[in-house]
Amino acid sequence: MIASPDWRGKRFAVLGLARSGVATVRALLAGGAEVVAWDSDAAKREALSPSPRVRGEGQSEAVSLVAAPLPTSLRSATLSPQAGRGSLSFADPESIDLTGFDGLVVSPGVPLNRHPVAAKARAAGIPIIGDIELFAQARAALPPHKVVGITGTNGKSTTTALIHHILQTAGIPSLMGGNIGLPILAQEPLPEGGVYVLELSSYQIDLTYSLDCDVAVLLNITPDHLDRYDGFAGYAASKARLFAMQSPGRNAVVDVVSAANYEVLSSSPGLVASFIEDVLDFKPIRAGEQQNWPSLQGPHNLLNAQAAIEVCDILGVDIKTIRSALTSFTGLPHRMERIATRNGVTFVNDSKATNPESTAPALAAFDRIHWIVGGKAKGADLDACRPHFGHVARAFTIGDAGPLFASLLRDTMPVEEAGTLAAAVARAAAQAQPGDTVLLSPACASFDQFRDFEQRGDAFRAAVEALR
């Protein structure tokens, strides 16, 4: 494993050259490492290399990125005068001998349970890590700081952004990173007293071994990503590893169900644990104040807010500042985002709701809903949403799951198989009355019709703006 951010004499293979991969390569080069990088997309290789020539798969071409301009937290963490003198070459890790490498750094999207390069690295005894692990190993050289790690199936991004917003409101230097915003290695280090707020997916936790969070948060665990794990128990165990990395005396903020049913703290003795559901029992803030938080509506956002309140209280933010920040928080795109109000009808973009468990709270948040649902289904039911079906005036199904969901819903509500998102918006808008909500909360992935949930949400906005 890497011992320090001075990586002279170390060799790393980096697989995947999207944003976090590029930041990782440049951080390693700034520390003096020898880096062999690869992405199957030649354009990404060419964008990283200052040389216009990138050879074919299995061949390597040494280049230099000594003058790479991207600032990274590890650049200032590297104390050696040789920093920035690493070397870069391009070759597919599957086609080269990994013997002697100090680590294989992969994108969280690489399925470790079935990708051949993972098996090859394990056979060679090479650690498989991610950019969060590199950040964790650089912490000792950064100005004194704290780290908050947030995981869970649903609500991670909103809670991460809310904690960051509260800290900023309090005048505490903070950065967001991990699974949100810029890669953490692509950001300048915080001054002394700063707080790094990291959204962490289970995939990122799987690639991390030494991230000792000052405060670790688990919002919830519901079935998701089961193609990557040995059943639901394996998925829950991945989340629990965030706490297993903490030192005794650190703080853990967890939901009651995960603590009781999945024993996420069982291998983490000595942590100071608090439960999200109990937070407002011991704080001056009360649940009734949620009506004053326009971007935090719905029961799920109350729990997200409670987690953020507890974290920021632990970090020393006064309750008056927390209360003010809850009111001024503007939310994130594609997460219960109010797009427009037309003729008394509110249009809400909740495209990030990619499973029924994340859609259920959105259905609970509004009284009379024209629900746009469907896409690439992650399961064969909508049972998690059923308790809130009484709020739905009519459903409009779209995408691959449209026919299945229509058959599931017809016994409980009027349903139209709209097929496309644009058609669903037009039909919903034509039938909605003043006071109603047209809600895109698909309970599905987007990949049948869109590149990702962001593109789907943008298409929803465009369809609303196109209404006459």
8 Å CB contact between 117 and 110 = yes
Calpha distance 217→153 (Å, rounded): 12
> Which tokens is 308 given?
């953020």
Active-site residue list: 156, 179, 225
Show Cβ contacts of residue 25 under 8 Å, excluding neighbours closer than 6 positions: 14, 17, 35, 37, 48, 65, 88
For residue 101, give the nearest of 55, 23, 36 by alpha carbon: 36
Show Cβ contacts of residue 182 under 8 Å, excluding neighbours closer than 6 positions: 19, 23
Show Cβ contacts of residue 44 under 8 Å, excluding neighbours closer than 6 positions: 17, 18, 22
Q: Residue 256: how many CB atoms within 10 A of its CB?
A: 11
Calpha distance 387→236 (Å, rounded): 25
8 Å CB contact between 74 and 27 = yes
> Which tokens is 344 given?
């008394």
Q: Exposed e or buried b for every residue in 257-288, given b needs 16+ CB within 10 A? A: ebbeebebbeebeebeebbbeebbeeeebeee
